Amino acid sequence: MMTSEKISTACNAKKHHEIYDLIADGLSSIDLIQYIKIYRGSIRASNFISDNAKKEPIVKIGEPNIVGLELLIDEETQVVQFYVITSAIKGYGEKMVSSVVSSVPNDWKVVVVMDWSGGFWQVMMQRYPRLIVV
C-alpha cells in the first residue's frame, strides 16, 4: 500500500503488482527523493521532475544536481533491474541501492545488466550480496 505523497502512478499502471508499492514506499523514505512514479514495467524516482504535462522524475545520467534512478520490473521472471542510477550527491547512490534491495522480497532477483560505473557496482555487490551484476 502506497503511503507517501511523493508517489504517483501513470495512467497505464493503475493496476499493478504489489512489488511496485514495496519499492516505491522504500524509495520514499530517502530524504532527497521527492518524486516517484510507477509505470507499467518500471519505476522512476528523482529529486527533480520534468516541467511538461507528464510530470516525470528526471533520471538523466550526468545531469547536474540530479539524484535518481529508473528500475525495470519483470513480474513474470521476478526480476528488478537497475536501468539508470545517478547521484550528484555522494552517498545517495548507495542509499537508493540499499532501499531497493531491502524492499524487494527474497524470492525476487535484483540485477544490474550493464556495469559502466567504474567500480560502484562492484562495491555495492560486496555490501549487498543479493545484488547480481552481469
Tell me the domain boundaries of the chain: 7-133
- Average pLDDT value for residue range 108-126: 95
> pLDDT value at position 44?
98
User: Is the confidence at residue 72, as pLDDT, over 80?
Assistant: yes
- Is 50 exceeded by the pLDDT of residue 1? no
> In the prediction, which pLDDT does 3 show?
58
Sign of the dihedral defined by the CA atoms of residues 126, 131, 133, 134, in that order: positive
Q: What is the reported pLDDT for 83?
A: 97
| Percent residues over pLDDT 90 in the chain | 89
Query: How large is the average pLDDT for residues 60-65?
Result: 90
What is the b/e burial string over 1-39, where b = at least 16 CB atoms within 10 angstroms of the residue's CB?
A: ebeeebbbbeeebeebeebbbbbbbbbbebebbbbbbbb
Residue 58 pLDDT more than 90? Answer: yes
